[in-house]
Structure 1
Amino acid sequence: MREDNLFGEFLREFSRNRVAAFAAVVVGLIVLLAILAPLVAPQDPYDIANLVLRDARRAPGYVGTGGYVHWLGTDSQGRDLLSAILYGLRISLQMGVIAGGVAFVIGAVVGCAAAYIGGRFESIVMRIVDLQLSFPAILLAFVIAALLGQGRYQLIMALIFAQYAYFARTAHGAASAERQKDYVEAALSIPLSHWRVVLRHILPNALPPLIVVGTVQVASAIALEATLSFLGVGLPPTEPSLGMLIANGFQYLLSGRYWISIYPGVALILFIVSLNLVGDQIRDQLNPRLRR
């Protein structure tokens, strides 16, 4: 009952910020459209049989060979741009959630283990993390993706490597503070196993800041995927990700065919900004010092 009250209070406080509440609705709507893309998209951009080259680069509102209206136009391959954006959001969301989730687990384990074990192990691990954080994430992801080649799994591995250090640094800071508290010393004196102390006592108390970082890093992973795909080292051209859609239409901007790049760019920006606004509000509510 107490947890229900806390959750209800959290939602009420969240809804008081109209900007964050609107951003949460936008995120929920985009996620729902991405999940239901095969059902709501007018066209399957993966089905080559549905692509007609003479319908390529058509303006918004064009009635295609299939008889339906391309409300956002078509891209350079004749794909319905609205359908490609919906499938692109689906791909970008999958990449962001998978890469962010795996990086979350790895970073939490590394950070908590370093704080709990301490000594030389902590010093070596955190120096490696600090060294990695001194480089821009896009640079690390670009180098790893270039070495591994194009593909979903290769790009996911590059994103994980570029992001786990953020979680490790956050987990280490939170776990270090918890490690010095009396209840941890009491748990060790019983004695409980080290794994049980870390998983049941230290890690749960380190989760709030990790959740905030996770929200931001999912948005960052989506932006990184789009950037790498735009630069040609991410997903292959056959994947209608948002980054590839923007890259495919970039060469046509000066010729007046703006919709091929602009509409996927607007969808990408709207999704990332909304995720960041939701993450900022969660951070403010979980940190008493930031509450008004």
Structure 2
Amino acid sequence: MTTKAVSPWRNLWIRFCEDRIALGALIVVAIILVLALFAPLIAPQDPYDLSGLSLRDARRPPGFVGSGAYVHWLGTDAQGRDLWSAILYGLRVSIQIGIFAGAVGLIIGTTVGILAAYHRGIAETVLMRIIDLQLSFPPILLALVLVAVLGQGKAQLIAALVAAQYAYFARTAFGAASAERSKDYIEAAMATPLSNMRIVFRHILPNAMPALIVVATVQVAYAIALESTLSFLGLGLPVTEPSLGMLISNGVKYMMSGRYWISVYPGIALIVLIVAINLVGDHVRDILNPRLNR
């Protein structure tokens, strides 16, 4: 009687489910993704529609019934926005920016790192010295400068986040690709008529992907945190598209007057999202790294 072989992806899932904390974090991330995706259907108010806001509903406590005849379960902010709706839309924006910035950074950084590792020589020296130089600057400082130069807007913010983060992908890709580049099967492939592109994308890249997946997970969470920081400082998205960072910033001045909910609830949503993503990424790293055994 033959036993059915378990696919690598199924084996990865089985090992992932062994950690209940990581599995719980994944469920939390999935719930947040669903809430953010269906925010226009779930939220009782469109917080981006300024004509639908009323200053009579501003700074109302949780449980207040406003002029829209529905309950503001988390209260309202200084502009009269329903905080539950604003948080859902803020999560939607943060996740979109985090995933898109992480994906673009992954593509650019992986391309730079693998090309430097494969071609070696002057290409490796020039590209990796540029990466090392960029890594010497704090990402928040670089993002601040780029946002100040490019201006406000979703596209400008994503460009700033990509420029601040792609170096981490490049360094990781370079390390993983360099390890693969020195192996015998790559030397054998280079001795055949196979093209450089085929060797890179069919042999080196798949073996470098586990390390890149872990970095991508962490960098998505970091991009969300960085976007929220920029929005908190007033350099992120415009005021017509409030993100979680902007919601937190708008409520800081009301904290001493007892209106804690304006900042606290968006802050809790942001913390839960970032911590959950980091827990998932940390466990994926442990699974994909054979040197770490728990």
- Give TM class, smaller chain: over 0.9
CA deviations 1:130-176 (Å, max 9, x no partner) are 11111111111111111111111110000000000000000000000
Residue 253 of structure 1 and its aligned partner are, at CA, apart by 1.0
Structure 1 match to 2:75: 73
Structure 2 match to 1:199: 201
1:126 paired to 2:115: no
Separation (CA, whole Å) in 1 of partners of 2:31 and 2:59: 28
Residue 12 of structure 1 and its aligned partner are, at CA, apart by 1.8
Structure 2 match to 1:230: 232
How many pairs align?
291
Q: 1:9 aligns with which of 2, 8, 11?
A: 11
What is the root-mean-square deviation of aligned Cα atoms in Å? 1.0
SS of residue paired to 1:254: helix
Separation (CA, whole Å) in 2 of partners of 1:250 and 1:154: 26
Structure 2 match to 1:180: 182
Separation (CA, whole Å) in 1 of partners of 2:141 and 2:48: 30
CA deviations 1:53-78 (Å, max 9, x no partner) are 11011000000001100000001110
State which drifts further: 253-262 or 271-280: 253-262
Separation (CA, whole Å) in 2 of partners of 1:62 and 1:50: 17
Structure 1 match to 2:270: 268
SS of residue paired to 2:207: helix
Separation (CA, whole Å) in 2 of partners of 1:143 and 1:200: 38
CA deviations 1:163-210 (Å, max 9, x no partner) are 000000000000001111111111111111111111111111110000
Structure 1 unpaired stretches of 5+: none
Q: 2:85 aligns with which of 83, 86, 89?
A: 83
Residue 5 of structure 1 and its aligned partner are, at CA, apart by 3.0
The 5 A counterparts of 1:1-292 are 2=5, 5-292=7-294
Q: Indicate the percent of aligned positions where both proteins have the same amino acid.
A: 66
- Using structure 2 for the length normalisation, give the TM-score: 0.97
Residue 255 of structure 1 and its aligned partner are, at CA, apart by 1.2
Residue 48 of structure 1 and its aligned partner are, at CA, apart by 2.3
Q: What letter corresponds to residue 113 of structure 2 in structure 1?
A: G
Separation (CA, whole Å) in 2 of partners of 1:163 and 1:226: 15
Separation (CA, whole Å) in 2 of partners of 1:137 and 1:89: 22
Q: What letter corresponds to residue 262 of structure 1 in structure 2?
A: V
Separation (CA, whole Å) in 2 of partners of 1:136 and 1:17: 33
SS of residue paired to 1:288: coil
